[in-house]
Amino acid sequence: MKSLYSIKFIFRIISLIIFTTFVYAGIISAAEPVKTPAGTQKTAPAAKETQPKEKVSPLLDPNDPKSILYLDTKGKLAALAGAVLPKDRYGLVDWAKAVKDKVISPRPSLDPKEEEMPAMDMNVVIEAKSDFVNDVVYPHYMHTWWLKCEVCHPAIFVPAKGQNNMTMSAIVEGKFCGRCHGKVAFPLADCNRCHTQPKKAAKK
């Protein structure tokens, strides 16, 4: 009998702990919106959005969690609807395709006085060191849509062909292409997006 009592006692303690945690959690969740009055305005429509009835512009929908939020030129919060942006096979935004498809049209600079530099249409073939891996065709073109020369040269890449001793190991460690790819640009796992040009048949 004694053991039965002790089991009951343990159950009581457990239920008490569970009860108190629920109460405590309830207080916190109730208190949260009070703590951040600015946040309540945003959270309220976000809860509504589970109902798909509300129709919004395909381009601007800051409440859609798939939207990409950004500050416009006036510093106001704006959004690009995730649904209209092209995606790669990882579900990440394919920014280059977004420009090609004219979904977005990036400004040359945040400073309106700055002159627009024309994009540089020059491909560089980077031979893969391995005999069995396709060579890389690096397009300056799409890179210069967003970046000016000094972003990469000479700090990341020496501006001379064959002078950068690139290896995938170094890139994975964050050097060369790895400075951006895998971070702000498409991931390194997407091998064949860069390794496009087959080695010449003779080499095989």
Q: Does 195 bind another protein (CB under 8 A)?
A: yes
Residues 192, 195, 196, 202, CA torsion sign = negative
> Can you tell me whether residue 71 is helix, strand or coil?
strand
Chain mean position to CA 187: 10
**Residue 178 CB, nearest approach to another protein (Å):** 9
Q: Cα–chain-centroid distance for residue 25? A: 32
Q: Of the candidates 48, 129, 148, 183, which one interacts with another protein according to CB under 8 A?
A: 129
163 binds another protein (CB under 8 A): no
Binding test (CB under 8 A) with another protein, winner from 35, 132, 160, 200? 132
- Number of chain positions touching another protein (CB under 8 A): 19
- Determine if 185 is a binding residue for another protein (CB under 8 A): no
167 scored as a contact of another protein (CB under 8 A): yes
Confirm or reject binding of residue 59 to another protein (CB under 8 A): no
Token pair 């008490």: residue: 16
- Strands of 123-126's sheet, edge to edge? 123-126, 135-139, 195-197
Is residue 172 involved in binding another protein (CB under 8 A)?
yes
Q: List the one residue out of 128, 111, 93 whose CA is nearest residue 199.
A: 128
183 binds another protein (CB under 8 A): no
Q: Residue 5 interacts with another protein (CB under 8 A)?
A: no
By CB under 8 A, residue 187 contacts another protein: yes
* Contact call for residue 130 and another protein (CB under 8 A): yes
Q: Which of 3, 150, 169, 200 binds another protein (CB under 8 A)?
A: 169
Helix (H, G, I), strand (E, B) or coil at 93: strand
Tell me the β-bridge partners of 181.
185
Cis check: omega of the bond before 187, within 30 degrees of 0: no
Rule CB under 8 A: which residues touch another protein? 128-134, 167-169, 171-172, 182, 187-189, 191-192, 195
